[in-house]
């Protein structure tokens, strides 16, 4: 056992000395944890929707409240073979969870970051989903040019304001990718662009579902123009506004 030990190995060798390589690795992990590194980055994985996802510092760590986005999508009256776009896919957690639940769907996962897309592709293989494609795009620009239309656009976009960045917990502020969290001075810059672009990429009757900040409910509602209907905001496990959905009429 050169530097690695499974749980089974551990219990079968309780009386044996810990291999030096494993001891050194453990000490390095302990030092990083004491320095504030998130546990998911140290382990290199995070569970989401009962699936395991590889994560590193190039992608935002999936949160339990984002599972509410998946739940909302699955409650919608989508076509039998929906075309779905996940914008800013990161580790691919939303896209892959939906692909698992909707095997007849065609899911496209997009991200501006090539490194994030590489991780998302690995997670698709890891979770054995084949109905997901990956596209590099700055928000919806690629799809606006290609004239692709979707039954559903889903996203967990950056929604933190620049001034709020320094107030975040240290593990988030110091280790997770700022670009995946901070949208700009108000925190609504990306959401506003997403709403405007989604109108041109959704089929009539298509849905936009996205995660929002806990204090953004009223302002997000004001960003929607006429032509949108069935607007709904769902609370997270703490009762705070978290998941916004709207239908293109």
Residue 60 among the catalytic residues: yes
Residue 13 among the catalytic residues: no
Active-site pick, 53, 156, 158, 177: 156
Q: How far apart (Å, rounded) are the C-alpha atoms in residues 161 and 180? A: 12
* Residue found by looking up tokens 């075309």 in the block: 83
SS3 47: strand
Inter-CA distances, 214 with 2, 157, 168, 241, Å: 47, 13, 14, 5
The H or E element containing residue 200 is helix 189-201
Inter-CA distances, 116 with 88, 150, 157, Å: 9, 22, 14
Active-site pick, 38, 62, 82, 157: 157
Residue 177 among the catalytic residues: no
Closest CA to 177 of 86, 88, 58: 58
DSSP at 62 = P
Active-site pick, 48, 53, 60, 134: 60
SS3 10: helix
Which residues have a catalytic role annotated? 60, 156-157
């Amino acid at each position: 056992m050169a530097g690695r030990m499974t749980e089974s190995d551990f219990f079968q060798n309780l009386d044996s000395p810990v291999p030096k390589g494993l001891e050194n690795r453990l000490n390095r992990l302990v030092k990083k944890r004491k320095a504030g590194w998130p546990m998911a980055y140290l382990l290199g994985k995070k569970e989401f929707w009962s699936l395991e996802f590889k994560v590193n510092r190039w992608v935002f760590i999936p949160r339990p409240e984002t599972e509410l986005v998946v739940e909302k999508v699955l409650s919608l009256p989508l076509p039998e073979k929906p075309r779905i776009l996940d914008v800013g896919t990161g580790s691919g957690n939303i896209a892959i969870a939906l692909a698992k639940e909707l095997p007849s769907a065609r899911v496209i996962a997009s991200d501006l970051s090539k490194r994030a897309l590489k991780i998302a592709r690995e997670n698709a293989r890891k979770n054995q989903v084949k109905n997901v494609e990956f596209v590099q795009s700055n928000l919806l620009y690629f799809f606006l040019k290609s004239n692709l239309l979707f039954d559903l656009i889903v996203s967990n976009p950056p929604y933190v304001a620049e001034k709020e960045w320094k107030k975040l917990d240290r593990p988030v502020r110091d280790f997770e990718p700022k670009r995946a969290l901070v949208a700009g001075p108000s925190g609504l810059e990306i959401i506003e662009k997403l709403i405007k672009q989604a109108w041109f990429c959704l089929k009539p009757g298509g849905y936009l579902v996205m995660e929002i900040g806990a204090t953004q409910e009223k302002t997000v509602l004001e960003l929607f123009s006429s032509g949108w209907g069935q607007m709904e905001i769902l609370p997270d496990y703490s009762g705070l506004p978290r998941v916004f959905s709207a239908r293109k009429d």
